[in-house]
Structure 1
Amino acid sequence: MTRGLRLEFSSDPPLSLQPPDHILPSKSQLPIIRSFIPDLLSRNIIRIISSPQPLFFSRPFTVEKKDGPFRLILDLSLLNNFLLVPHFKMESVLQIASGIVEPLWGCTLDLQDAYFHVPMAWFFHRYLAFVVDGITYVFQYLPFGLSVAPWAFHRVIKPVKAHLHLQSMRVHSYLDDFLFLSRSREGLLALTTHILDMFDRLHIKVNYKKSSLEPSQTVEYLGVILQLDSMTLCIPHSKVLGIITLCDQLMISSFCS
């Protein structure tokens, strides 16, 4: 992938010189979408297409993240119909928990704009076009919305993890969510410092606001609380309350019907 991610198609997606009306962003989301453009251009995540050429156009839209800010996504559902998606497996919390056989210390790390670490091969920029205010743009890096995005990002991170595992470092990940484990607090601090330095050299950006880098024996990872001192799992209190509320609503709905 040194020259960028190449896409595998079951058949060639149709290209067009003019964007169809249905791919234009909604008026309600247009101000938010506009706000993304300068930053994405300055980081070379997207570029402007100044002259008409055959492209595959998709509709941009935004979704609100759990931590507040919005994320720009392309509605690539039509393009995804043409894509061949390789099968791959990611490590689950249960698999991680089964390997914890002694008290440990842990911390979590989240990456910033994870998919934007994956460049697209130049030829495939044409399939990632969108229009805002009459200007055509294409993504030069992996956008949110592409069905192969999880596989592609996993493929990029896999050799990084393999290198760390060769150094006997306990590093787990599920896409951009990382879990570091060590037998001691001091060992975990050293491991974290080493990995942060390595990520910096590889230009892998860390989301420090969403990361919990302070060593602890109670770590929340992928929606589950790992009690590393007692080697047990539990569900966060907020999720328990959510389940109880949902059950109450279902019981009321069933009773009323």
Structure 2
Amino acid sequence: MCVSPLNVVEQRDMCRLILDLRKVNNYLDIPKFKYEGLNKVAELIRPDDWMFSIDLKSGYHHVEIHPSCWKLLGFQFEGDYYSFISLPFGLATAPFVFTQLIKQLARRWRASDVRVVPYVEDLLFLCNSHSDASSTCAAIVKDLKAAGFVINGKRSHLHPSR
């Protein structure tokens, strides 16, 4: 088992476990990619749009790692050895993997004429009316829960606003 240092990083109102995988990352082919961001919002937004946003709680940890890779994601805590079995923060390919997963959901929603801008664990939705935003929000929440994600209620804005 490869044992890497485990750190805790405080971010806003939460702590995040970061596995220091520098040694493992040196052997990875890390794909280059771009996040969608403000340019995509500017492209999609229309006057009088109603919006809602969803923050996925610990999104990476909902992505399972193949068992053959568990041995590369080990760490020691209080004398015992453990391994991540889900996508850890600190793995150089994690942002790409997670973004590809979210892109699949976004592609599905866009095929139904839903305007969405995903950015890592955050999703912004733009709708033509309050009623459209409310029904879209309910459908998206249902999709995300069916996909195994947990919605961060504190950081999400599920009530449409302008």
TM-score with structure 2 length normalisation?
A: 0.95
**Which of the two has higher C-alpha Rg?**
1
2:45–2:126 contact (8 Å) kept in structure 1: no
> How do 1:246-257 and structure 2 match up within 5 A?
none
Counterpart in the other structure of 1:145? 90
Alignment of 1:113 with 2:58, yes or no, is yes
> How do 1:84-95 and structure 2 match up within 5 A?
84-95=29-40
Unaligned runs of 5+ in 1: 1-54, 218-257
Deviations 1:160-200 (A, max 9, x none): 11111111111111011000110111110010001111112
Alignment of 1:82 with 2:37, yes or no, is no
Alignment of 1:66 with 2:12, yes or no, is yes
CA distance, structure 1, for counterparts of residue 147 and residue 40 of structure 2: 28
Q: Any idea what SS the aligned residue of 2:81 has? A: strand
What is the count of residue pairs matched by the alignment? Answer: 162
RMSD: 1.1
Counterpart in the other structure of 2:119? 174
Letter in 1 for 2:7: F
Counterpart in the other structure of 1:184? 129
